[in-house]
């Protein structure tokens, strides 16, 4: 890891170090992005993960307090554990250890408590895992006197994402670490995406928890059995992401909305939508959204509606009446 000219003096243990990271949604190209087609994702700053490094008991070593995240064994949040007692594949342990290896430069880790809180819904396609890991890596770096840059954070978070998802494309760690809209192609780094006119999104949560690993695995099985058909679908989705990039850059929300509708149809054909997602997408369209689609791995989680400014409360109310357990409004600019 590079030592940068902007190194900060090591933080005093008496001063907590705090870092945050936003949630995210995928606007175009989920699943196809795993097969190297382009995708577009944007940060959602209305929700966030926060990591705080504070002094621990003398001689205690490194402890983790996951204030509102489930425990490694699936128990609900509020648990506190010693780093070295957690399973090696615990994502919080991995985040802390990767950051310590990268940033402590031979200094002892010391006696610290890493407290993690998050307002990002878990397992709903909003990048909760990537955001928690990003906040932890950023906070540990700062604690050891170095404010890590997105290009340093993203590869470390990718390693943690592998524990969550198996074979992630890398889009989540990228959009969350850079905290800006990205046009992403696996293995090629990011292309900056400028947003010509603000995009008003209503994000509707089906309340259905879904495992990205399972959905991605299911698509892979079907792709293995019928490669030609699925490659064709991925090509179509990738083409939509390219068209969407131009539409977003020139500030054409109507075109972006139409492309979202088309992307949703292709995700239905891919077999990753669900009755709950389809109902919310249909409701958003009937209430005047410019376009709507599921977002993330699917089978549950969130959908997105692109709406004209001023219509967001109407669409949000309709989504709640149609079964959304919560709605988030986010303006992307």
Taking CB under 6 A as the criterion, the residue among 19, 42, 100, 171 binding ligand PMV is 171
Q: Is 172 a catalytic residue?
A: yes
Name the one range near ligand PMV by CB under 6 A: 28-36, 69-77, 94-102, 278-286.
28-36
Whole-number minimum distance, CB 102 to ligand PMV, in Å?
23
Helices (H), 87-226: 91-103, 128-143, 150-165, 171-178, 212-225
Burial grade of 253 (CB within 10 A; 0-12, 13-18, 19 or more): buried
Question: What's the rounded Cα separation, in Å, for the pair 147 and 4?
Answer: 9
Name the one range near ligand PMV by CB under 6 A: 47-55, 58-66, 137-145, 168-176.
168-176
Examine residue 33 and tell whether it contacts ligand PMV (CB under 6 A): yes
Question: What's the rounded Cα separation, in Å, for the pair 253 and 319?
Answer: 20
From the candidates 172, 205, 261, 317, give the one annotated as an active-site residue.
Answer: 172
Tokens of residue 243, six digits: 């068209």
Neighbours of 192 (CB within 10 A): 9
Examine residue 169 and tell whether it contacts ligand PMV (CB under 6 A): yes
Taking CB under 6 A as the criterion, the residue among 56, 72, 121, 125 binding ligand PMV is 125
Q: Residue 103 or 158: which CB sits closer to ligand PMV?
A: 158
| Per-residue contact flags (x/-) with ligand PMV for residues 178 to 217, judged by CB under 6 A | ----------------------------------x---x-
Examine residue 296 and tell whether it contacts ligand PMV (CB under 6 A): yes
Whole-number minimum distance, CB 316 to ligand PMV, in Å?
21
The DSSP symbol for 84 reads: G
Using CA atoms, how far residue 242 sits from 127, 195, 247, 273, in Å, is 22, 14, 9, 22
Whole-number minimum distance, CB 185 to ligand PMV, in Å?
12
Burial 74-95, CB ≥16 within 10 A → b, else e: eeeeeeebebeebeeebbbbbb
Main-chain phi, psi angles of 5, to 5 degrees: -65, -25
Q: How would you classify the pairing of strands 62-66 and 112-118?
A: parallel
Q: Residue 82 or 222: which CB sits closer to ligand PMV?
A: 222
Examine residue 97 and tell whether it contacts ligand PMV (CB under 6 A): no
Q: Give the interface with ligand PMV as residue ranges (CB under 6 A).
A: 26, 30-31, 33-34, 125, 127, 165, 168-169, 171-172, 212, 216, 296-297
| Residues annotated as catalytic (active site), given as ranges | 172
């Amino acid at each position: 890891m590079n030592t940068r000219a902007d190194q900060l003096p090591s933080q005093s243990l008496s001063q907590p170090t705090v870092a945050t990271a936003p949630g995210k949604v995928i606007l175009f190209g989920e699943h196809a992005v795993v097969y190297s087609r382009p995708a577009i994702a944007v940060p959602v700053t209305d929700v966030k993960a926060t990591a705080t490094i504070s002094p621990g008991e003398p001689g205690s070593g490194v402890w983790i307090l996951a204030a509102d995240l489930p425990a490694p064994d699936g128990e609900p949040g509020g648990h506190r554990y010693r780093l070295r007692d957690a399973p090696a594949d615990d994502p919080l342990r991995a985040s802390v250890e990767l950051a310590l290896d990268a940033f402590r430069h031979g200094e002892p880790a010391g006696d610290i408590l890493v407290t993690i809180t998050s307002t990002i819904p878990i397992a709903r396609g909003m990048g909760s895992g990537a955001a928690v890991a990003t906040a932890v890596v950023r906070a540990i770096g700062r604690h050891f006197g170095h404010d890590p840059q997105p290009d340093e954070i993203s590869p470390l978070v990718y390693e943690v994402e592998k524990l969550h998802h198996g074979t992630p494309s890398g889009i989540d760690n990228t959009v969350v670490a850079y905290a800006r809209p990205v046009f992403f192609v696996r293995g090629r780094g990011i292309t900056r995406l400028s947003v010509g006119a603000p995009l008003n999104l209503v994000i509707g949560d089906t309340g259905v928890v879904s495992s990205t690993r399972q959905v991605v695995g299911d698509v892979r099985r079907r792709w293995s059995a019928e490669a030609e058909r699925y490659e064709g679908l991925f090509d179509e989705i990738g083409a939509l992401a390219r068209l969407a990039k131009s539409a977003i850059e020139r500030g054409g929300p109507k075109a972006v909305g139409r492309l979202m509708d088309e992307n949703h149809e292709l995700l239905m054909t891919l077999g990753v939508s669900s009755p709950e997602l389809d109902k919310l997408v249909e409701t958003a369209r009937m209430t005047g959204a410019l376009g709507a689609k599921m977002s993330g791995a699917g089978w549950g989680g969130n959908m997105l509606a692109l709406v004209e400014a001023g219509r967001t409360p109407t669409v949000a109310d309709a989504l709640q009446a149609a079964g959304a357990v919560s709605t988030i409004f986010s303006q992307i600019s």
